[in-house]
Amino acid sequence: MLDSFGRSIEYLRLSITDRCNLRCRYCMPEEGVPPLAHADILSYEELLRVAGSCVALGLSKIRVTGGEPLVRRGVVDFIAQLAALPGAPEITLTTNGLLLAELAGPLKAAGLQRVNVSLDTLHPERFATLTRRDGLAQVLAGLAAAEAAELNPVKVNVIPLKGVNDDELLDFARLTLRHHWEVRFIEFMPISPDL
């Protein structure tokens, strides 16, 4: 499949839910966003049909995203079905990591190859302020579980924010000396007035 500039399109991002178990200040308001009705989001069967058609057209990599994809019930079975598509696409997932400690092993067994974890601070109080939830310990446990499950290289996506976490960039970089992780600094895209 080629775009209008003749470039090969090989990569599909599949958002499977608009829901999330965090409330990051740069993403959504404290009360969250009104959730879509189940009837208004694609079922797993419909998502599989879309993904299968894209793979048949030549896409070789599918990234599952959200919202937070791990909050959608049945996500492990869905990953297994994606991995079993004819053409055997590479399956990756972007997550905030809160549920990864319990799901990394089952996801790997289902056919997930790699995982990107979004994490902006290594300080528990800052994490609570930024995401409006406690949970840094859970995310760090999720990262460790992903590494143990060999979802490697685990990628850690950090958004540097001036005056908020820009004193932690070296601490994040140092993590790569101790772990089989890749730390990436991602450009901030302001979509919420709360930061």
Tokens of 123: 């300080």
Q: Which of 68, 71, 92, 108 binds ligand SF4 (CB under 6 A)?
A: 68
Instruction: Kindly state whether residue 92 participates in binding ligand SF4, applying the rule CB under 6 A.
Output: no
127 neighbors 153 (Cβ within 8 angstroms)? no
Among 14, 16, 22, 143, binds ligand SF4 (CB under 6 A): 22
Nearest CB to ligand SF4, comparing residues 55 and 114: 114
Peptide bond into 193 cis (omega under 30): no
Cβ closest to ligand SF4, residue 55 vs residue 107: 107
Total site size for ligand SF4, rule CB under 6 A: 11
Q: Which stretch binds ligand SF4 (CB under 6 A): 1-9, 20-28, 53-61, 178-186?
A: 20-28
User: CB-hemisphere CA count at 13 Å for 107?
Assistant: 29
Nearest distance in Å: CB 67, ligand SF4: 5
Alpha-carbon dihedral sign for residues 103, 104, 105, 108? positive
23 binds ligand SF4 (CB under 6 A): yes
For residues 142, 144, 145, 151, the Cα torsion angle rounded to the nearest 10 degrees is 100
List the one residue out of 191, 94, 95 whose CA is nearest residue 138: 95
N-terminal to C-terminal alpha carbon distance within the chain: 39
Q: Judged by CB under 6 A, does residue 149 bind ligand SF4?
A: no
User: Is residue 54 at the binding interface for ligand SF4, with CB under 6 A as the rule?
Assistant: no
Binder among 96, 116, 138, 165 for ligand SF4 (CB under 6 A):
96
State which of residues 16, 51, 67, 115 lies at the interface with ligand SF4 (CB under 6 A).
67
The piece of 6-14, 17-25, 104-112, 175-183 that touches ligand SF4 (CB under 6 A) is: 17-25
Assess 28 for contact with ligand SF4 (CB under 6 A): yes
**Residue 23 exposure: Cα atoms within 13 Å on the Cβ side:** 13
SS3 of 48-109: the string is HHHHHHHHHCCCCEEEEECCCHHHCCCHHHHHHHHHCCCCCCEEEEEECCCCHHHHHHHHHH
Question: Which positions touch ligand SF4 (CB under 6 A)?
Answer: 20, 22-24, 27-28, 66-68, 96, 118
